[in-house]
Amino acid sequence: MAENTTSRSKRLFTTAGLIFLALGIVLYFAKAPMGLNRKIYDLPIFLIIIGVCFALKGFMSKNAPVNELETSRVSFVEFLTNNAILLAMLVLVVVICILQPRFMQIRVALDILTQSSTKLIMALGICFALLIAGTDLSAGRMVGLAAVVSASMMQTATYANRFFPDLPQVEVWIPIVAAIAACMVFGALNGFIVAKYEMHPFIATLATQVIIYGVCSLYFDMPPNNSQPIGGIRSDFAQIGQMRLFSGIYKGFPGISILIPISIVICIIIWFILNKTIFGKNVYAIGGNREAAVVAGINVFRNIMFIFILASFLYGIAGVLEAARTAGATNNYGNGYETDAIAACVVGGVSMNGGIGRVGGIIMGVLIFTVIQYGLQFINVSPMWQQVIKGVIIAVAVAIDLTKYRRK
Amino acid sequence: MGEYLLEMKNITKTFPGVKALDNVQLNVRKGTVHALMGENGAGKSTLMKCLFGIYEPNGGEIFLDGKKANIHSARQAMDQGIAMVHQELHPIRFRSVMENVYLGRFPGHMGVVNHKAMYDKTKALFEDLELDVDPLALAGEQSAAILQMMEIARAVDMKAKIIILDEPTSSLSDREVEHLFKIINRLRSQGVAFIYISHKMKEILEISDEVTIMRDGTYVGTWPVVNKETGEKLTNDFIIRQMVGREMTSQFPPREGKPSSEVVLKVEHVCSPLRKSFQDVSFELHKQEILGIGGLVGAQRTEFVEALFGLRGIASGEILLNGARYSAKSPGFAKSRGLALLTEERRATGIFGILPILENTVIANQKNYAHLGILNERKRRIDADEECRKLNVKTPSLATLIQNLSGGNQQKVLIARWLLTNSDILILDEPTRGIDVGAKYEIYNIMLEQIAQGRSIIMISSEMPELMGMSDRIMVMCEGRVTGFLNKGEYSQEKIMALATQFAVHKDNTAA
């Protein structure tokens, strides 16, 4: 029975993949002669990509010896609940594509990925705190801190309103390191309060959040800047967030934002840390049962310190990228980013009770939010309605997720 | 009214992939104590959850007083006179005892609680149950025994006709058990029926009128404890035979060899910083020895071994490990020195319920699989697989979540965890608590194997037969002090009890 399920899903994926692939290729060559260019845009290319992905998944999935006790036949309903949000997103995408065929463009997809990048880095940072059944409210303010610190040292020599009027042309990496280090100091503070005094991370990071904003504002308010937005950013720094790769590869191709490869690399690193290192296993263990982790001889103090420092490192990167991408910074940068990141994590299946969560899920969670936001903008849904929809998604997604763990 | 107060007929319950109950029946008479027995995983808890409305059975019928009952929630079960005292109690710790007793049924009008009435009612209830507890005291400060009585008081107040007791004595001292039995006897004479789940044969034979035995989700049979015609009593052996479905020749495997004279651990005058905890503990542990630690609940045995393992502070005294000074700084340090601790509370401080068996097995030994912090997945898997196989952990795969295993198998995984770290001294705190007979025997075997391989064991046990059956020497504690040692050959329950109850005469008591 179990054997059948596996091979059936394998067959399903392979056939679906091949069908998509074939359809994509046919449409690709047929769209110009049939005059469909303005009707389906880049749909064929998407079909080919989806087809290849499905087929690969089908070929790669093993017929692992599954025991009867573990997996019973995955019923249709179960499949729906397991992937409800993903399916809802697919339905929405299809609807948007019908209403606005322009949505089916490579550039739109790249836009969505670009917009997801910094959010993803934030979510990957915050997921560690969530995995130990905590949270991190200071994440957003750390982004602001990193943005202000890095931008303040990266202004062009000719700009009238310089933060440090006499600062010479410094190497690009110096402000980046300084910004990230500033965040890591506060990350260490977070970790110390949480680990040493066993304070709930909600309170500890709330305190640090306020401190960081204060410190950042003080810095931002230093004369001669006096709380004016930092501008006149050097183009070599701005390139870190704005550079586009392969932009002239064919006519009309907008190029791939540098943010995409950066976030992909970070995803891989975090995945590796969570799944292949002692530290990662310890995070799951501490989140799963802190007392048992202590008894098992895990140094909980050191691990929690490391969790918050690593997270602040990621927020620092996100902050620098934000400053570079927008070529500017104020002390209000990053405000509220932590709630978006937490929302993306929980929608991606990270449990607030700790111990459960995967990088794949987090990527999904972030993408779902961006796709929906971008898509709703695309069909001119009012931003106020977008907020309502976003909130509903969080509640519904988590409710569905929780029913998985409850059985009667 | 029919013969039975409760009849459960052909109850069947399936979970995805598992048939937890298969045509099980249970018939309970009015005013009796009905023991429900079976190995862990036999389906006792599932059956009780079906009765109590927590699970919906897939098939079968339940009759109360001969009438078909519809029970779909715990609330409905309670309304129909069924109460359940769970094995692990979860009181609302920061609320008073009386609020816990009347939780969900506060006396009062229009949503305003009448605290005076609640206090008086609770007081009266407690007096009736000979319970000397202030209704206003915080529930979190009460002992397990009192919390249990609190639950029973709640059941009595709700006029429960059937009270389910799930392993009620697992954390009670003998004296508290006596009190519990007195209350049970009183309520029984008033017509209340009890369903009594326990692994302890002695208790079952003492308190119950009838025994129903289950095995692997099926009904084995029901027997009166005393046969009315012949006057014969059920025997331990008979019950065990029915439970495991095979002959059990002995409760304990034979011990071969003797402890060596080499001293591996020497503890001298070790004191806790807390005055009421362990004080002036001294002993020697020999290589290949099983040192049993006996005592009542509150003897500070657990606290002492936790301090030895670095989980609690030590104020003074000296510990020599293999001749060298050892300071119990942290569990990590203790681990690195070859100590291992299997804690008493398996669920709270042992297993990582939501993690797979693989992770649970290797978690204490990660360093041996890592190079620069990066793990070698294959090595982890091979080791976990080998160790779990050796200890005969029954599981579909290493990917199974440990919370889905029975207590005995969870315990084996935890032992495997500490065997992987190559510990020389295993500290086992109640190693067979809440574990069925078959798994107990396996764990005893594992202990003896470890001894044969040159390891040493410190075992805390509150079960006298186990303490006497497994230990080479018994150290008895009372109120944090070591009150005596018994060598093999001079064991008896009476001697151990005598040492365990050697309470100090507090001279300053009158002053305080």
Judgement on whether residues A192 and A112 belong to the same structural domain of the protein: yes
Domains of chain B: 6-91+160-244 (3.40.50.300), 94-141 (no CATH), 253-338+423-512 (3.40.50.300), 351-422 (no CATH)
Last residue of a domain, which of A52, A82, A112? A82
Judgement on whether residues A169 and A70 belong to the same structural domain of the protein: no
CB atoms within 10 A of CB A365: 29
Judgement on whether residues A9 and A133 belong to the same structural domain of the protein: no
Please report the pLDDT score of residue B210 as a whole number. Answer: 93
- Is A231 inside a domain boundary? yes
C-alpha to C-alpha distance for A232 and B137, rounded to whole angstroms: 67
SS (H, E, C) B174-218: HHHHHHHHHHHHHHHHCCCEEEEECCCHHHHHHHCCEEEEEECCE
- Is A98 inside a domain boundary? no
The beta-carbon neighbor of B397 closest among A67, A285, A292 is A67
Q: Which residues of A, range 343-402, sit inside 8 Å of B by Cβ?
A: 355-356
Q: Which residues of A, range 57-76, sit inside 8 Å of B by Cβ?
A: 67-72
Please report the pLDDT score of residue A62 as a whole number. Answer: 62
What tens-digit pLDDT sequence spans chain B (512 residues)?
A: 468 899 999 999 887 656 788 899 999 999 999 999 887 667 888 899 999 988 889 889 999 998 998 888 888 898 899 999 887 778 888 888 998 888 878 888 888 888 899 999 999 999 988 888 899 998 888 888 888 888 889 888 888 999 999 888 877 778 888 999 999 999 999 999 999 998 778 888 889 999 999 987 889 999 999 888 887 888 887 887 787 775 555 678 888 888 999 999 999 999 999 888 899 999 999 999 999 999 877 789 999 999 999 999 999 999 999 999 999 889 999 999 999 999 988 888 899 988 999 999 999 988 889 888 889 989 999 999 999 998 888 888 898 889 888 888 899 999 999 999 989 999 999 998 877 777 888 899 999 999 999 999 999 998 888 888 899 999 999 888 999 999 988 888 788 888 887 776 544 443 33
Q: How big is the A-B interface in CB pairs under 8 Å? A: 94
**Better-scored residue on pLDDT, A194 or B141:** A194
| Chain A residues within 8 A of B332 when measuring between CB atoms | 297-299
- Is A90 inside a domain boundary? no
Name the nearest CA neighbour of A183 among A145, A137, A217: A145
| Chain A residues within 8 A of B364 when measuring between CB atoms | 296-298
- B18, B302, B344, B349: which to substitute to probe chain A, counting the most A Cβ within 10 Å? B349
C-alpha to C-alpha distance for A387 and B75, rounded to whole angstroms: 39
| Chain B residues within 8 A of A72 when measuring between CB atoms | 16-17
- Is A95 inside a domain boundary? no
> Domain tally for chain A?
2
Distance of CA B75 to the CA centre of its chain: 27
Judgement on whether residues A77 and A107 belong to the same structural domain of the protein: no
Average pLDDT over residues A120-132: 95
Judgement on whether residues A51 and A114 belong to the same structural domain of the protein: no
- Is A140 inside a domain boundary? yes
Backbone angles phi, psi at B431, to 5 degrees: -65, -20
Judgement on whether residues A167 and A287 belong to the same structural domain of the protein: yes
Cβ contact (<8 Å) for B359 and A285?
yes
Q: Are B234 and B203 in contact (CB under 8 A)?
A: no
| Chain B nearest CA to A314, separation (Å) | 20
Cβ contact (<8 Å) for A298 and B377?
no
| Chain A residues within 8 A of B341 when measuring between CB atoms | 295
Judgement on whether residues A390 and A329 belong to the same structural domain of the protein: yes
C-alpha count within 13 angstroms, C-beta hemisphere, residue B219: 17
Report the mean per-residue pLDDT for chain A. Answer: 87
- Is A93 inside a domain boundary? no
Average pLDDT over residues A137-158: 94
C-alpha to C-alpha distance for A221 and B126, rounded to whole angstroms: 67
Judgement on whether residues A51 and A165 belong to the same structural domain of the protein: no
Q: Please give the residue range of the domain that contains residue A52.
A: 1-82
Q: Looking at the complex, does the CB of residue B371 fall below 8 Å from at least one CB of chain A?
A: no
Report whether pLDDT(A71) > 50. Answer: no
| Chain A residues within 8 A of B311 when measuring between CB atoms | 294-295
CB atoms within 10 A of CB A379: 13
Judgement on whether residues A42 and A116 belong to the same structural domain of the protein: no
Taking CA atoms, B124 is separated from A35, B140, B157, B394, in Å, by: 89, 21, 10, 49
Please report the pLDDT score of residue B95 as a whole number. Answer: 87
Judgement on whether residues A63 and A178 belong to the same structural domain of the protein: no
Taking each helix axis as running N to C, give the angle between helix A300-326 and helix A278-288, from 0 to 180 degrees, rounded to the nearest 10.
Answer: 110
| Chain A residues within 8 A of B355 when measuring between CB atoms | 284-285, 288, 355
Cβ contact (<8 Å) for A297 and B377?
no
| Chain B nearest CA to A294, separation (Å) | 7
- B55, B311, B374: which to substitute to probe chain A, counting the most A Cβ within 10 Å? B374
Last residue of a domain, which of A22, A50, A82? A82
Cβ contact (<8 Å) for A289 and B352?
yes
Please report the pLDDT score of residue B248 as a whole number. Answer: 52
Sign of dihedral through CA atoms B502, B508, B511, B512?
Answer: negative
- Is A87 inside a domain boundary? no
For residue A351, the chain B residue with the least C-alpha distance is: B354
CATH of the domain at A304: 1.10.3470
Average pLDDT over residues A102-115: 89
- Is A96 inside a domain boundary? no
Judgement on whether residues A317 and A179 belong to the same structural domain of the protein: yes
Please state, for a pLDDT cut of 70, what percent of chain A lies above it: 93
> Token pair of B17, please?
């992939």
Backbone angles phi, psi at A126, to 5 degrees: -75, -20
Cβ contact (<8 Å) for B373 and A292?
no
Judgement on whether residues A78 and A137 belong to the same structural domain of the protein: no
Last residue of a domain, which of A82, A112, A133? A82
N- to C-terminal Cα separation, chain B: 58
Report whether pLDDT(A75) > 60. Answer: yes
| Chain A nearest CA to B390, separation (Å) | 21
Please tell me whether the peptide bond between A224 and the residue prior to it is cis, using omega within 30 degrees of 0.
Answer: yes
Please report the pLDDT score of residue B18 as a whole number. Answer: 65
Please report the pLDDT score of residue B510 as a whole number. Answer: 38
